[in-house]
Structure 1
Amino acid sequence: MSTESRSLVVDRPGCHRLVLGPRPEPGPGEARVRVAAAGICMSDRELHDGHRDAAYVRYPVVPGHEWAGTVEAVGAGVDEGLVGRRTVAEGFRACGRCERCRHGETSLCTAGYDETGFTRPGAFADHVVVPARLLHPLADDADLRAAALLEPAAVTAAAVRAGAPEPGERVAVLGAGTLGLLAVQLLAAFSPAELTVIDPRRERASLALDFGASEALVPKEAEEVRGRYDLVVETAGAPSTAADACLLARRGGRVVLTGMFTPGAVGIDPVHLSLSQLTVRSVFGAPSAAWSYAVRAFTAGLLDPAPLITHEFPLERFADAVALVGAGGPETGKVLLRP
C-alpha cells in the first residue's frame, strides 16, 4: 500500500494545484477513507471562483463534500470492523453537544460552521480523513460511483422529510438539476396523485419523467397550474423560484425551499403567504436523520443516482471538470472526479 496520497488544493480563488504528499493518518476517533468518486456541485465551483461567502470557506482547502469510498484505516477508539467497509460520511462537523445537536438538528449546530471540503480537507483527493462517528456504512456491493451523490440525496431527503408528503397528494418540484431529480425519486415512493417537475430547460424537465414524474413543464406552462399543489419542493435557487413555489401551492399547502439563493432573489409576498396560510420550510445541508433516510432509500433501491452522472474526470483534469459545472448545458448532469 502506497504511503503517498494526491490532493487537489485550492490555495485561493482561481488558483489550484495537484499535490503529492504523505498519506494522511487517522487520529483518535477518526477514519481514513480511500476515495472512489467525488461529485462536483455549484458550491465547489463558487469556492474555486471565489464567490462563496467568506464565512463558509477557509483557504487553502481541499474541496470535495460529495463522495464515497472504502475505509482503509481507523484511529484509536474506532471499531476496526469498519476497515474494508464501503461508506459515505456526513459533511457537517457538528459538535454533538449543543442544544440543537442534542435535539437531532445537527445541521443547525451552534458551535459554528465547520464542513468537510470547505473548512476541512475534502475528497478531491486519494484519501479523506473524517470523524468515524460521521460515517454511514453502505452495503458490501454498493455502487460507490452512484453513492458519491448521497450527499445531495441527503439534502433532498431533509426536504422531503420537512414536506411530509402523503400518498395521493399533488406534488410539484421546481428545478430538474441534481437535487430536483433526486427529489422526484424520493417523492415518487409516496405514490402522489400528480408529480409535476418545472424547469426552463425542457430537456431537463422531460428527463424527470424517467425518474417518476407524471408531468414536465416549463415555467410559462406552470402559470396555468398555480394554486394547485399540496406540496411544492423548490430545488433551483433561481432568483424567482422561492416566490414561484409559494404561488404554485394551494391554500393551506406546504412549501420547502432547498435552493441556495443569492442576494437579489425575489422575495415571497407576505400578503399571499398570510392569506393562503402556507407552511414554508427551508433546508440547508442535512441532519444525521436525513443522511440515514437517504442511505436506506439507496440501499432499498428506491433511490438510484447513477443515471444523473454524465461526466467523469481524473484529478488531473479538475479544471475541465469544474468548468462544466454551472455552464448551463442541458446535456451536463452530475460531474464526478475519480481519484
Structure 2
Amino acid sequence: MVVDEPGAHRLVTLPRPSPGPGEVRVAVHAAGICASDREVYDGTRAEGYVRYPVTPGHEWSGTVEAVGEGVDPQLTGRRTVAEGFRTCMRCARCREGATSLCTDGYDETGFTRPGAFADSVVLPARLLHLLPDDADLRAAALLEPAAVVAAAVLAAGPRPGERIAVVGAGTLGLLAVQLLAAYTPARLTAVDPREQRAGQALSMGATDARTPDGGDSRFPPPEGGYDLVVETAGAPSTAHDACLLARRGGRVVLTGMFEAGAQGIDPVHLSVSQLTIRSVFGASSAAWSFAVRTFAEGLLDPAPLITHELPLTSFGEAVGLVGSGDPSVGKVLLLP
C-alpha cells in the first residue's frame, strides 16, 4: 500500500525486495494502524516526519524469511518484531543508549522508509527483537505502542504502593495500565471521557475508572493528588490536566503526541508544586527489550485491545475506523 500524497493511496505489486548486507526481509503477519498513520494519510504529520510517497506501517509483527550478507542464517523462520527508528549508533545519544534521541536526524520505518502495510518489510537485522516460537503474532503487532508505554514506565520509575493515574484509555493508556499494575500500586486510576474505554481498564488491572470531570463519586481523587500520573491521550488539555492530578512533589510522564496549540503547563503550578515532568517520543532499545520481555513472560497481553482485522485492500476503511471517534473501535489490524 502506497500513500503517494495526502488523501491518495493505491495498492501496487512490486518485485519482492532482497535484503542487503546486514539486513533481513520479514514476512508481515499483521500491522496495526494508529493515529500517526491517519496523520500520514491526512497530511497533518509534522514537517520532516514523513516522506512521500511512503508505504506506512510502523506497528507490526512477522517472520524472518530471508537474510542478507553477514546476517546469521539461523534467524530465518524466527517470529519477530523490530524497532522503527533507523538510528546511527554513532552519535553521543545512541552511544549512551538513548537511541530514540539519535541526533543524526529522524528516520523511521513506515514514515521515511517503506513500512509494513505490505507483504514484507526489509530492515537492519540489529533492530530485531525475537519472540518465542509460540508467540501470538496478532498480539505482537501491538508491541510498538507497548514499547512506547514501556519507555514511559521506565521514565516514571513506579514503586509498589504508589497512587497512580493514567490519563487516556486508548491503546497506549490500556497498555500502560497493564504494565503499571505489575508494580502493585495502592491505587491505579484510569481517566477517560469514554465510559466504555475507561471501564475496559478495570479488566486490565485498574482499581477504578473516572471521567475527567470527576466521574464516580465512589472513587474521589486521593487526598493531595497522585504520586505518579502517566498521560497517554495527547488531547489539547491533557498535559495541563495531568499536572493538576499530581500531588506536590509528584511525577508526570507525557506520552501522548500533542498537536500545535495544545494547552500549556502552568509554570506557576509547576514551580510551586515541585513536579518532575518527563516526556516520551518513540522508544529506545531498552524500552523495546522491556516490552518484548514482559510480553514473552505473559505480563503484557495486548490481544484484548484488537477490535478489527482487515485485509490490506481495506486500507481506506481502516483509516476511516481509526479517525471515526467511535469508542468501540480499538486497535485495527491490517493483514497482508
Q: Which amino acid aligns with 1:10?
A: V
Whole-Å separation in 2 of the counterparts to 1:269 and 1:99: 32
Q: Which of 229, 250, 255 is equivalent to 2:252?
A: 255
Whole-Å separation in 2 of the counterparts to 1:335 and 1:319: 12
What residue in structure 2 maps to residue 187 of structure 1?
A: 180
Q: Normalising to structure 1: TM-score of the pair?
A: 0.97
Whole-Å separation in 2 of the counterparts to 1:276 and 1:51: 35
TM-superposed CA distance for 1:324, in Å, is 0.3
TM-superposed CA distance for 1:54, in Å, is 2.1
TM-superposed CA distance for 1:274, in Å, is 0.5
Whole-Å separation in 1 of the counterparts to 2:76 and 2:208: 45
| Secondary structure of 1:10's aligned partner | strand
What residue in structure 1 maps to residue 278 of structure 2?
A: 281
Q: Which amino acid aligns with 1:26?
A: P
| Secondary structure of 1:176's aligned partner | coil
Q: Which of 221, 226, 234 is equivalent to 1:225?
A: 221
TM-superposed CA distance for 1:136, in Å, is 0.2
Whole-Å separation in 1 of the counterparts to 2:240 and 2:316: 35
Residue 109 of structure 1 pairs with residue 97 of structure 2: no
Deviates more, 1:52-61 or 1:214-223: 214-223
Q: Which of 3, 11, 17 is equivalent to 1:10?
A: 3
| Secondary structure of 1:207's aligned partner | helix
TM-superposed CA distance for 1:35, in Å, is 0.1
Map 1:184-333 to 2 at 5 A. Answer: 184-221=177-214, 225=221, 227-333=224-330
Whole-Å separation in 2 of the counterparts to 1:326 and 1:186: 26
Residue 51 of structure 1 pairs with residue 47 of structure 2: no
Q: Which amino acid aligns with 2:71?
A: V
TM-superposed CA distance for 1:228, in Å, is 1.4
| Secondary structure of 2:203's aligned partner | helix
TM-superposed CA distance for 1:145, in Å, is 0.4
Whole-Å separation in 1 of the counterparts to 2:328 and 2:263: 28
TM-superposed CA distance for 1:334, in Å, is 0.1
Q: 5+ residue gaps in structure 1? A: 1-7
Whole-Å separation in 2 of the counterparts to 1:52 and 1:243: 22
Q: Residues 233-262 of structure 1: CA distance to partner in whole angstroms, max 9, x if unpaired?
A: 000001110011100001110000001111
Q: Residues 118-148 of structure 1: CA distance to partner in whole angstroms, max 9, x if unpaired?
A: 0000000000001000000000000000000
Whole-Å separation in 2 of the counterparts to 1:50 and 1:20: 24
Q: Residues 26-49 of structure 1: CA distance to partner in whole angstroms, max 9, x if unpaired?
A: 000000000000000000001011
Q: Which amino acid aligns with 1:92?
A: F
Q: Residues 41-78 of structure 1: CA distance to partner in whole angstroms, max 9, x if unpaired?
A: 00000101111112100000000000000000000011
Whole-Å separation in 1 of the counterparts to 2:48 and 2:112: 10
Moved over 4 A (4+): none
Map 1:43-82 to 2 at 5 A. Answer: 43-82=36-75
Deviates more, 1:215-224 or 1:69-78: 215-224
TM-superposed CA distance for 1:263, in Å, is 1.1
TM-superposed CA distance for 1:330, in Å, is 1.1
Whole-Å separation in 2 of the counterparts to 1:135 and 1:322: 27
Q: Which amino acid aligns with 1:177?
A: G
| Secondary structure of 1:219's aligned partner | coil
TM-superposed CA distance for 1:323, in Å, is 0.5
Q: Which amino acid aligns with 2:212?
A: P
Map 1:163-174 to 2 at 5 A. Answer: 163-174=156-167
Whole-Å separation in 2 of the counterparts to 1:291 and 1:80: 23
Whole-Å separation in 2 of the counterparts to 1:323 and 1:54: 23
The CA RMSD measured in Å over matched residues stands at 1.0
Q: 5+ residue gaps in structure 2? A: none
| Secondary structure of 1:38's aligned partner | strand
Q: Percent identity?
A: 75
TM-superposed CA distance for 1:225, in Å, is 2.2
Q: Which of 27, 30, 37 is equivalent to 1:37?
A: 30
What residue in structure 1 maps to residue 129 of structure 2?
A: 136
How many residues align structurally?
332
Q: Normalising to structure 2: TM-score of the pair?
A: 0.98
Q: Which amino acid aligns with 1:82?
A: L
Q: Which amino acid aligns with 2:256?
A: G
Whole-Å separation in 2 of the counterparts to 1:96 and 1:138: 23
